[in-house]
Structure 1
Amino acid sequence: MTAQTPPTPPFRDPDLPFAKRIDDLLSRLTLDEKIGFLHQFAPAVERLGVAAFRTGQEALHGVAWMGPATVFPQAVGLGATWNPELVRRVGEAVSREARAMRARDERVGLNVWSPTVNLLRHPLWGRNEEGYSEDPGLTSAIATAYTRGLRGDHPVYWRTAPVLKHWLAHNNETDRDTSSSSVRPRVLHEYDLRAFRDTVEAGATAGVMPAYNLVNGRPNHVSPHLREQLRTWTEQDLLVCSDAGAPSNLVDSEHYFATHEEATAAALRAGVDSFTDHGTDSSKIVARVRGAFEQGLLTEADIDTAVRRQLSVRFRLGEFDPGADPYAGERDFDTPEHRALAQEAAEQAVVLLKNDDLLPLAPGTRVAVVGLLADECKLDWYSGSLLHRSTPLEGLRERFGAERVEFAEGVDRVLLKTSAGTFLHVPPAPDTPGAARGTEGALDPALVAGRTDLPPLTAGAAGTELALADWGEGVLTLRAPDGRYLSVAEDGYVRASADQPGGWIVQETFRLEPHGDGHLLRHVGTGRHVQVAADGVKVAEGDPEVFELVVAERGEDAVTRAAGRADVVVVVAGNDPHINGRETEDRTTLRLPAQQELLLRAARAANPDTVLVLVSAYPYAVDPADLPAMLWTAHGGQATGTALARVLAGDVSPAGRLPQTWYADDADLPGLLDYDVIGGRQTYLYFEGTPLFPFGHGRSYASFSYGELTARVAGSAVRVAFTVTNTGAVTADEVPQLYARAVDPSVPRPRRELLAHRRVTLAPGESTGLSFELPLSAFAFWDVAAGRWRVEPGPYELLAGASSEDVRLRVTVTLDGEPTVPRPVLERGLAAVDFDEQSGTEIVDLTREAGDAVTAVAGKDGELLFRRCDFGGGVREVSVAVSGGGAVELSLDGGPAFALLSPREPTPGPYDYVTLTAPVTAAVAGVHDVRLRLRGPLRVARAGFSG
């Protein structure tokens, strides 16, 4: 007999719809196999020929953590291009490299965890570099473009499957896994949700990743908004991947649930489909899911739902159709096109903040390039390894000639003298002969932190002169003359063994602490002091060494000499992305580090023709008054130096625009945990002060005129048109921006809000006409009284110009809409969270599963204001739903209280609500403003009124 070939199972049939194939595969999996799929590292199912799969591949601005890759500008730099089409091409290049790298290394994943669409609400956020903008519209435009590039353009199969980070209202690293963002409904809908919604609705997103923080007292990993908002925006299956370690945080740090089984079940039911926890060890998550199932906290249908969403992504990635996957043979990696695109993106990201005709630099100019970042090409936590690098010094020497470009780093050159009179000495590295900074390439790539095969530092009569760089807030690095940074390995010894500071815990940073007539040297990574022992220099508990700091040369002296010999000085300042402002660490100030301010002053004093170039992941507060020129760019990846040199030389006219407000002083900033952009008057939308540089700002080497602004209502849209003309002498890009504001709103609305923009290239004398069709929904706000979006009738001013403050043209249109009506409190009551204004309160969770309540900030009385409440012909009784202990006082129009309600004793727990009632002590009828005063630690869910 001839053996029969077994039939092809339906899940392998490419002619069937994905939904039917997923149904078939699900039906073949055992419960244990399905549970195994819920961990980030899903095992293979060999009996079905299903391969292992993992969620998660970082690809924020290039493929990260997997070795060499094309490195594009940081995300905030891509946001500064204001160019969605460019960003789409960057996303496409990144996804091509992910496919090419996966063909060589199966560890490279195709479910990419990017982009980050958290809004840059607060410039001190340590992860500012990861977001695109403070504006939800610009953020969603750039994020949508990037995801479209990552997804690819095939109608069925995806090149990679992007997951948006981090859901929701996440802008602080300080206590990030235990802090709660208090987000009122208007801010939630108009601001935080909007960037996610527009990007998801565009159709190129595979899912989201919840953030570590809590929102309104509830961890994001059990957010009801995953179900109530996210999954209503698209009919496509969306995969929700937890952030690393966050499932355990629900119990371990947040104490939100009593057991891990309860927490895991709640997260799965809320919508988390893949648990990123305990690294590659899936046993703990598997045991928790199994335990939750056995305790009746989960059903098999709950598990099936999560597995179905995972499988949907895997099918779209072509895993089960290798013969039909159009991307299976992708091999594009480090191509000339990708290198050119990295340079183009870096050039478009440069923002000219100020120029008093010093730039562009004339041919033959003698340039002094100085500063801690003058000869650096810095990477961040989400970068790949550099295949190519270009520092500002290298770029300018290439452009102007090495003989015309002088360099002074500006670090202090120091010797560390011990109490015994010896000096710290760096032994030579036997495997890196001749390695030096400022040469064509980087140091030997084998020089990475953590090496223990190099000799540790010693102490002797002949010391080694070290380059001391102070990065601010007392954090410094020390570098040997051959470029090696002092680092501490696991054995505790100090070695010159790192080519750059870096790592999750940076082992290359130290602090000098005054002690008697000298200093102690504390290692930041371990918190321990440096000791000198017979077997070498190390960090350890016990008696620390007291060092005398012997300064061989001050950095400002070297800068002064170089500046005095040059026609123009270019001071390159900014941050190291691994130090003082990064994931896990927020900044504390907008100011430049003191050493860099000192270098800037020295350069300016020696040469008035000084250009400040800020290369940074976030804004700084730098007084530009005595600077003739000032530029900013994010860390621009592999092409930073070439891009800056071409802009400084005038080969490219700068056209980057600020994606967030640059504030003039720390005093202008809200509290880091104040997420109420409306009440706190935050971002360009509401800020009423004078910024250092406004949102959308950026100058050019050309000049542009705007004219002929028209606007008319056409059905359900407003059609706007105007012209832009290059009135300058060079071809340049301009970024016309269109804003709107409600002229006479019934509630606080933005001072102006970006509705559209476009980046255009114009030759001298060339004009272009721009037109935009704006849906009427673009003018809507979230009406808390009605619980929905509403367009208010009345006049709206449209503003066209070169930034949010550089408005060139204005026109007013009158829109029809739904008129404002008083709140029908007799019918609907008042949900506490739907206040119009508040003071001294925060929003908390109504229950663990859903809803919001309001409580007074600890130690204060709180107040909620509800405007224009309609009591009809009158009310006789008021009720409030509360938990905890305290009192609620109600009054009208700022007058005396008409009701005071308080439980006889505190309720057993925060979710044990009771309804209190009281007669109204005075006639209450008609329309009034209602104030609820909250006294004590009680939670208020809602108030009701009856006639």
Structure 2
Amino acid sequence: MLALAFALVAQDATAPYLNPSLPVEQRSADLVSRLTLAEKVAQMQNEAPAVPRLGIPAYVWWSEALHGAVGNPVTVYPQAIGLASSFDTLLMANVASAISDEGRARYYDTLKRRGRTGMHQGLDFWAPNINIFRDPRWGRGQETYGEDPFLTKRMAIAFVSNFQGEQNGKFKAIATPKHFAVHSGPDRERHHFNAVVDPRDEWNTYLPAFRGAVTEAGAWSIMSAYSAVNGEPASASPTLLGKILRDTWGFQGYVVSDCGAIGDLLSGHKLASTEAEVSAKAVTAGCDLECGGTYHSLEEAVAKGIISVDKLDRSLVRLFEARIRLGMFDTAQTGPWKPIPMSVVDSPEHRALALKAARESVVLLKNDGILPLKGVRSLAVIGPNAADHDVPLGNYNGTPAHTTSVLEGIQQVAPRGTRVSYTKGSSRLAGDGGEPVPASVLPGGVSGEYFLNENLQGNPILRQKSDNIDNDWGSDGPGGGVPKDGFSARWTATLVPKVSGEYALGARADDGVRVWLDDKQIVNDWSVHPASSVVTTVPLVAGRSYRIRMEYYEHDGQASAKLVWMPPVRQNYAEAVNLAKQSDAVVMVLGISGQVENEENDRSNIDLPAPQQGLLNAVLATGKPVVVVLESGSCLTVSDSRIRGLVQAWYPGQSGGTAVAEVLFGKVNPAGRLPVTFYKSLAQVPPIANYKMDGRTYRYMKAKPLYPFGYGLSYTRFRYSDAHVERRSDNGGLFVTVSVRNIGNVEGDEVIQVYSSREGAAWPEPLRKLVAFHRAHILPGANVTVTIPVDPRGLAQADGNGILTILPGKYRIHIGGGQPGYDPATSGRGQDVTMRLDEKVIPTSKQRVLPAIIK
């Protein structure tokens, strides 16, 4: 069978790099030795061109798989923060394997149909994001596994190892943990920001997940961050990329920069005065591959003696070794290299897994007995997120065949005879720019022109009329002779608003877009990026005609282009109030969206947006029982005592609406736990630019939060008993054993959590920390006895050089359904075991983490 990724057109078919029996390193080195300098430089950029004389196909190093492979259609699982709330590493393992199955299937299918692959169609994936969500304002926190280093590490290991599917040095796909390291806001300043970090915080909070991903999961790729750490830009940091990643952890794969990060070394960090100099510094430090266009200057750097060809070769050997390990240069397609059929994409099995993941991610925060809903004959569903199909997908997402909104889920799951009524009630935000401009205000329609290039040059290949600009082509393209990738478009129209006032006006697009109003440019985001919105506020007068021009280009992968706005909203809650009064109960689906919290968009507050707060107050004033469902990727301070039930749904993916409805009506017993702290207000949070952990997250926080990390309620009750702790003789760790009985009438999952705290601990040592967890399913009346290993590295504290030591002293080991002092009411009181531990230095070598034992 001829490898789909490699046409054997090489001049010498017996060349060592084509011999699968030779060591991968030898094959890669042989291939690199045959490249010219110009070819070498080109292969170190993410859009690597073909080298026909050697049979090297073109390859784009850029695919995403945060919670599903980016494509259309694909299976979209809950956003990463929701997956973390499951506290289920087995679920994470299954999700990761399913995602890479779909990614590899799409790779081979695209290669077979088109003869090449492009953006979001490769076998290297820039996931997972394992930065620490230390501040609730950070816009990318939804992409992470939360604020805890241990939970993040365990989820990262489960994702990376199962995503890559390594067998005998061969990979099904390559995961790329990001962003190495420390990075977590302020996001708009990342291109020049310097994170000043105490080395003890770095080793105890910011690095453990990366260490686990590399030393335990075998990650073959790492993405460097934009920002600097203690004065060294991460993408050219000898400390991070050399001393820590390769020298200390033994990393053998390749490092890729975040997109544009090498250019930031020049323009933002001022690391040197020329592109050639900053490129040489990055490669020398260990950044092998650039996403961007600055590495083109490496030819100049070699010519001027700034860098040697040997250093380029070092990086190139790593890059081609990865491609060889993925099977791109072999005809035998076996093991993890075996082509996976497209039938796995959005398959019934993957849809079922997406639903399971959504069910496990739901967190019940408050319940005065109203949930599950029973005997409700009429139910009002109110809120701007209730019927939305985009919000559940979060960000860095693909496009599923169908997304079930919470409203649809309720309509499907509600008992027969239940009258379900709906109204949006309010806008999501004051000035949210997320709705396509309707045809009703575009008299005469829209004139579109499409070009066979990315810069609108030459004559259009297609002219087309449409009612408005609301295009979501996915990976298919506009048709009519327009290619799927590498095209551009221009639309013109006349806008006649019906209401005077301040409008949010702009575009939502994947990739570049810019908009003019009466020949004045109002938004400009002319770059390659996933679908995102860019809007500005403009005053418009009712009945007046405005000239609209929108330009767009599609580079590669997914394609979408929409002219969007939000008309001036005078919130009128009358319809919602009337609907609530006519109903037995109300479910309000509130929150924010991936357009509000995202890349380069940190939040300024953690309150419910004003229009929704007003809506909530108006509906609560009716006196009808109200359950609030929150869709968000981070905490919202929703604390009104009149709320009867509160459910955190996160961005729950394509099946999230079904899962939420099943929880509301008791078909599923919720067992998700918060992977982040829900704060009462930002007064409990240090400034976002302050990277010192003192006072941050549950590990160092002394004040009482709104809802603590690890918190979540159930529809049944559990009782803990017979807890005891044994010392492990092999490595200095512990075995924690506890019995948990379901004393309620409903079967359900309990997340057994183990926390350690040392008497007298103070920063930089955590006040308390999660050291083990296990999710167990327990039938009514049943009792399970669980023995959970505690890794000694979890008990230990790192010094400023990363040396792990169990500090001597009196330790409190808490075993329960939540943090010590914050056990959920449905979990009952946890159990404490007090013991003394002696000082012990823990080896940094790889150690296998044992699974829990259930009796």
Report matched runs for 1:434-513 at 5 Å.
455-458=493-496, 463=498, 490-492=515-517, 509-511=535-537
What secondary structure does 2:813 align onto?
strand
**Deviation at 1:425?**
3.5
Aligned to 1:571: 588
Aligned to 1:797: 812
Aligned to 1:808: 830
What secondary structure does 1:571 align onto?
strand
Q: CA 1:58–1:478 in structure 2 vs 1: closer, same or farther (change >3 Å)?
A: closer
Counterpart residue identity of residue 665, structure 1: S
Q: CA 1:383–1:402 in structure 2 vs 1: closer, same or farther (change >3 Å)?
A: farther
Aligned to 2:172: 159
Runs of 4+ residues over 6 Å off in structure 1: 428-435, 444-448, 502-505, 537-540
Aligned to 1:139: 152
User: Aligned partners of 1:428 and 1:624: how far apart in 2?
Assistant: 48
Of 74, 85, 90 in structure 2, the residue corresponding to residue 80 of structure 1 is: 85
Q: CA 1:445–1:242 in structure 2 vs 1: closer, same or farther (change >3 Å)?
A: closer
What secondary structure does 2:125 align onto?
coil
User: Aligned partners of 1:747 and 1:508: how far apart in 2?
Assistant: 41
Of 363, 369, 375 in structure 2, the residue corresponding to residue 357 of structure 1 is: 369
**Deviation at 1:386?**
2.7
Q: CA 1:584–1:563 in structure 2 vs 1: closer, same or farther (change >3 Å)?
A: same
Report matched runs for 1:680-759 at 5 Å.
681-715=695-729, 716-745=732-761, 748-759=764-775
Q: CA 1:145–1:622 in structure 2 vs 1: closer, same or farther (change >3 Å)?
A: same
User: Aligned partners of 2:128 and 2:802: how far apart in 1?
Assistant: 30
Counterpart residue identity of residue 666, structure 1: L
Aligned residue pairs: how many?
749
Contact kept, 8 Å, 1:119 with 1:131, in 2: the verdict is: yes
Q: CA 1:456–1:62 in structure 2 vs 1: closer, same or farther (change >3 Å)?
A: farther
User: Aligned partners of 1:159 and 1:52: how far apart in 2?
Assistant: 19
Of 178, 202, 226 in structure 2, the residue corresponding to residue 212 of structure 1 is: 226
User: Aligned partners of 1:599 and 1:432: how far apart in 2?
Assistant: 39
User: Aligned partners of 2:30 and 2:358: how far apart in 1?
Assistant: 48
Of 113, 125, 130 in structure 1, the residue corresponding to residue 126 of structure 2 is: 113
* Range moving further from structure 2, 643-652 or 709-718: 709-718
Q: CA 1:230–1:236 in structure 2 vs 1: closer, same or farther (change >3 Å)?
A: closer
Of 673, 696, 706 in structure 2, the residue corresponding to residue 657 of structure 1 is: 673
User: Aligned partners of 1:68 and 1:14: how far apart in 2?
Assistant: 34
Give me the identity figure in percent: 32
User: Aligned partners of 2:506 and 2:322: how far apart in 1?
Assistant: 47
Aligned to 2:456: none
Aligned to 1:42: 48
Q: CA 1:589–1:534 in structure 2 vs 1: closer, same or farther (change >3 Å)?
A: closer
What secondary structure does 2:206 align onto?
helix
**Deviation at 1:285?**
2.2
User: Aligned partners of 2:568 and 2:48: how far apart in 1?
Assistant: 56
What secondary structure does 2:755 align onto?
strand
User: Aligned partners of 2:506 and 2:228: how far apart in 1?
Assistant: 39
Aligned to 1:562: 579
What secondary structure does 1:638 align onto?
coil
Rg larger for: 1
User: Aligned partners of 2:305 and 2:624: how far apart in 1?
Assistant: 74
User: Aligned partners of 1:617 and 1:746: how far apart in 2?
Assistant: 30
Report matched runs for 1:886-925 at 5 Å.
none
User: Aligned partners of 1:592 and 1:308: how far apart in 2?
Assistant: 51
**Deviation at 1:621?**
1.1
**Deviation at 1:605?**
1.1
Report matched runs for 1:826-845 at 5 Å.
none
Of 268, 292, 301 in structure 1, the residue corresponding to residue 310 of structure 2 is: 301
**Cα RMSD after superposing both structures:** 3.6
Gaps of 5+ in 2: 1-10, 111-116, 432-438, 447-463, 520-527, 552-566, 824-828, 842-855
Report matched runs for 1:265-414 at 5 Å.
265-278=280-293, 285-286=295-296, 288-326=297-335, 327-331=337-341, 332-362=344-374, 364-377=376-389, 378=391, 379-400=393-414, 404-411=419-426
Of 93, 104, 123 in structure 1, the residue corresponding to residue 98 of structure 2 is: 93
User: Aligned partners of 1:672 and 1:370: how far apart in 2?
Assistant: 34
Counterpart residue identity of residue 406, structure 1: S
Contact kept, 8 Å, 1:117 with 1:143, in 2: the verdict is: yes
**Deviation at 1:298?**
1.1
Contact kept, 8 Å, 1:424 with 1:457, in 2: the verdict is: no
User: Aligned partners of 2:802 and 2:406: how far apart in 1?
Assistant: 53
Gaps of 5+ in 1: 279-283, 417-422, 469-473, 495-501, 513-519, 522-529, 541-548, 820-947
**Deviation at 1:57?**
0.6
* Range moving further from structure 2, 589-598 or 199-208: 199-208
Q: CA 1:591–1:340 in structure 2 vs 1: closer, same or farther (change >3 Å)?
A: same
Counterpart residue identity of residue 764, structure 1: P
User: Aligned partners of 2:802 and 2:384: how far apart in 1?
Assistant: 52
Contact kept, 8 Å, 2:772 with 2:789, in 1: the verdict is: no
Counterpart residue identity of residue 721, structure 1: T
User: Aligned partners of 1:809 and 1:87: how far apart in 2?
Assistant: 28
Contact kept, 8 Å, 2:518 with 2:546, in 1: the verdict is: no
Aligned to 1:900: none
Q: TM-score, normalised by structure 2?
A: 0.81
Q: TM-score, normalised by structure 1?
A: 0.74
Contact kept, 8 Å, 2:493 with 2:548, in 1: the verdict is: no
**Deviation at 1:23?**
2.7
Aligned to 1:13: 19
Counterpart residue identity of residue 265, structure 2: L
Q: CA 1:232–1:365 in structure 2 vs 1: closer, same or farther (change >3 Å)?
A: farther
Contact kept, 8 Å, 2:215 with 2:251, in 1: the verdict is: no
Higher relative contact order (CA 8 A, sep 6+): 2
User: Aligned partners of 1:446 and 1:324: how far apart in 2?
Assistant: 34
User: Aligned partners of 1:367 and 1:476: how far apart in 2?
Assistant: 33
User: Aligned partners of 2:674 and 2:690: how far apart in 1?
Assistant: 23
**Deviation at 1:276?**
0.9
Contact kept, 8 Å, 1:197 with 1:233, in 2: the verdict is: no
**Deviation at 1:662?**
0.6
User: Aligned partners of 1:271 and 1:489: how far apart in 2?
Assistant: 36
Aligned to 1:170: 183
User: Aligned partners of 2:283 and 2:495: how far apart in 1?
Assistant: 51
What are the superposed Cα offsets for residues 599-639 of structure 1, whole Å, 9 maximum, x if unpaired? 11111111431001100111111114221100112111111
User: Aligned partners of 1:503 and 1:744: how far apart in 2?
Assistant: 48
Counterpart residue identity of residue 834, structure 2: T
**Deviation at 1:505?**
8.4
User: Aligned partners of 2:701 and 2:192: how far apart in 1?
Assistant: 28
Aligned to 1:257: 272
Contact kept, 8 Å, 2:811 with 2:835, in 1: the verdict is: yes
* Range moving further from structure 2, 113-122 or 68-77: 68-77
Q: CA 1:62–1:795 in structure 2 vs 1: closer, same or farther (change >3 Å)?
A: same
Counterpart residue identity of residue 383, structure 2: G
Q: CA 1:429–1:88 in structure 2 vs 1: closer, same or farther (change >3 Å)?
A: farther
Q: CA 1:475–1:342 in structure 2 vs 1: closer, same or farther (change >3 Å)?
A: farther
Counterpart residue identity of residue 38, structure 2: D
